[in-house]
Structure 1
């Protein structure tokens, strides 16, 4: 195997935020690892999890779609959802991963085999092989178990999330995930749902410690908008504070924030869902120990407030080069 080109990048998260960033990063380096949450319990993933006792495949499948060849038939096939019958709404990629899980000795091995079948660019790792649930504890002391239940429960309680935890607590990290973090040049947290996509990874035993001990440039890619049912009313510094409280004080060197203006019609649509552009309170973020860098990061080709993978990747590489990191790659 030839020498790899580009820095070793580890991206940690889940959901659409992680897959969007991976689409840009795969063109910048041959050494890319995605570490993906397995706390999801909703939708088609939740059904397979409940019926087969396997970790949820949905976020993993999204990452595989992102790292597959843009023009490949297999990428289209992975995303295909059955339109009717008992499989209505289920993605073919979820079923393929479930089948591989059935003939593999562990979930991470199934993910590795599917990655080989698809010849994806990069490595995708579940953060743990354990069957975990996410529990949210609210500021009024109430709690709810199940990632998919947090949104409605929060709306009912009408108060903020105090913290989240995993059940069982402290599941062991996949050793390969810890190893990837330890040799990384750049570690990215986010973008993505704060309490249900990013933070659950930090609660897996070994992940936060590995990030804190790493000499990599550690970047938190802040969300563009607040998220209804999860972070409404929170500023960027409050997102950062929640990350540090759950994971440790040395998790983040730099926060990368969007400063592109969103179209008025789009803002109005989000406002109807109790979501607004994230307020970047730079001074409070710097007090927490993070440098703040703002760039236009939005994807103008879609009708939602989404990150452009290419813009995020370009900003990340520029920041890495500017800071004079001397690791050879």
Structure 2
């Protein structure tokens, strides 16, 4: 849908302000659909990824991993598709240096060096890509994800954590620069966006490695608890190996609440469409296990409003959220709360 043909939806003369917090492949899908339905979108993207092209770049130069940020920039861009195809192009050359790298990742890494940090680099690139909305790295510096397991052991690094085969008790983030003297912090623009939002959306994405790394930045997590915006959690459709085996939807929310020390999630979006047992390619999507089971009473006990619907999209033998359907529900909630922000006590 082009910028000129978007659905025009406004709250008291303005577009609804939606902040989406997360990372991974699900984030740009939701962000793109919100953009096409005329939301004023701010995406706050995790900077603790250590895999793929992003991880390789991070190993060579001390920059925030750019992959998730690149995909969200493309999702919010109003440039013609040809330019975005070039930005998103990933080399398939056998050359050891370029193989597997996306051009956009290299541009983000270069701008980060030029601007002295990822935040200013992304704002400059947002102008170049004609981004409608805002893309904010959760931190201006690279972060390391750490996990404590139920057996008392700890590990650092997303790949190591999910590959450990253990049950995660909690996660936390630290500065990747071992010489850093201050704990990780989000910049003021991130905090302002959360405080001024109509709704704040968590996910969809990996609970421990895409969503919680953002909330574990202390001032960002505090802002999510303090904002008068509606807090919406998009429950994953499938459980995930190394993270959420045997989790119900209520278990996801319990983990979020435990990490922030209070019941802060207001609304959950739950998919109820069945996943065909023979559809998912478990070799291609080897991290996905089984559909998340529903515990509606558990969610209600946690003070959550539950919106259950067919949010399922099947494509390429993978299981995904239907971005358009999810965005519609998010905006319906934004209109409900946009004219009268709730009070938190």
Of 138, 145, 151, which aligns to 2:156? 145
1:61 equivalent to 2:70? Answer yes
Structure 1 pair 272/27, CA: closer, same or farther in 2 (3 Å)?
closer
Q: Which position in structure 1 is the counterpart of 2:132? A: 121
Distance 1:290 1:265 in 2: 33
> Would you tell me which structure has more helix in proportion to its own residues?
1
Structure 1 pair 250/273, CA: closer, same or farther in 2 (3 Å)?
closer
Give the paired residue count.
Answer: 321
Distance 1:241 1:131 in 2: 28
Of 306, 322, 338, which aligns to 1:292? 306
Of 228, 243, 255, which aligns to 2:268? 255
Distance 1:4 1:170 in 2: 40
1:149-228 matches, within 5 Å, as: 149-153=160-164, 155=165, 159-168=166-175, 170-228=183-241
TM-score normalised by the chain length of structure 2 = 0.87
Cα deviation code 1:80-138 (max 9, x no counterpart) = 11112121111111001111112113210000111111112210000111221001111
Distance 1:272 1:80 in 2: 24
1:237 equivalent to 2:242? Answer no
Q: Which position in structure 2 is the counterpart of 1:96? A: 107
Shift of 1:16: 0.7
Gaps in structure 1 of 5+ consecutive residues: none
Q: Secondary structure at the match of 2:279?
A: helix
Distance 2:288 2:139 in 1: 33
Shift of 1:71: 4.8
> Would you tell me which structure has more strand in proportion to its own residues?
2
Q: Which position in structure 1 is the counterpart of 2:179? A: none
Q: Which position in structure 1 is the counterpart of 2:322? A: 308
Shift of 1:197: 0.2
Shift of 1:260: 1.4
Q: Secondary structure at the match of 2:101?
A: coil
Q: Which position in structure 1 is the counterpart of 2:7? A: none
| RMSD after superposition | 2.1
Shift of 1:273: 5.8
Of 55, 65, 72, which aligns to 1:46? 55
Gaps in structure 2 of 5+ consecutive residues: 1-11, 176-181
Distance 2:183 2:264 in 1: 18
Cα deviation code 1:203-224 (max 9, x no counterpart) = 1121121111111111001111
Q: Please say if residues 6 and 28 of structure 1, whose CA atoms lie closer than 8 Å, have aligned partners that are also in contact.
A: no
Cα deviation code 1:155-200 (max 9, x no counterpart) = 2xxx311111112484111210000001000110011000000000
Q: Please say if residues 200 and 229 of structure 2, whose CA atoms lie closer than 8 Å, have aligned partners that are also in contact.
A: yes
Structure 1 pair 273/199, CA: closer, same or farther in 2 (3 Å)?
closer
Structure 1 pair 4/248, CA: closer, same or farther in 2 (3 Å)?
farther
Q: Which position in structure 1 is the counterpart of 2:292? A: 278
Structure 1 pair 261/71, CA: closer, same or farther in 2 (3 Å)?
farther
- Deviation larger for 139-148 or 7-16: 139-148
Distance 2:288 2:127 in 1: 42
Distance 2:288 2:66 in 1: 29
- Deviation larger for 294-303 or 22-31: 294-303
Q: Please say if residues 4 and 30 of structure 1, whose CA atoms lie closer than 8 Å, have aligned partners that are also in contact.
A: no
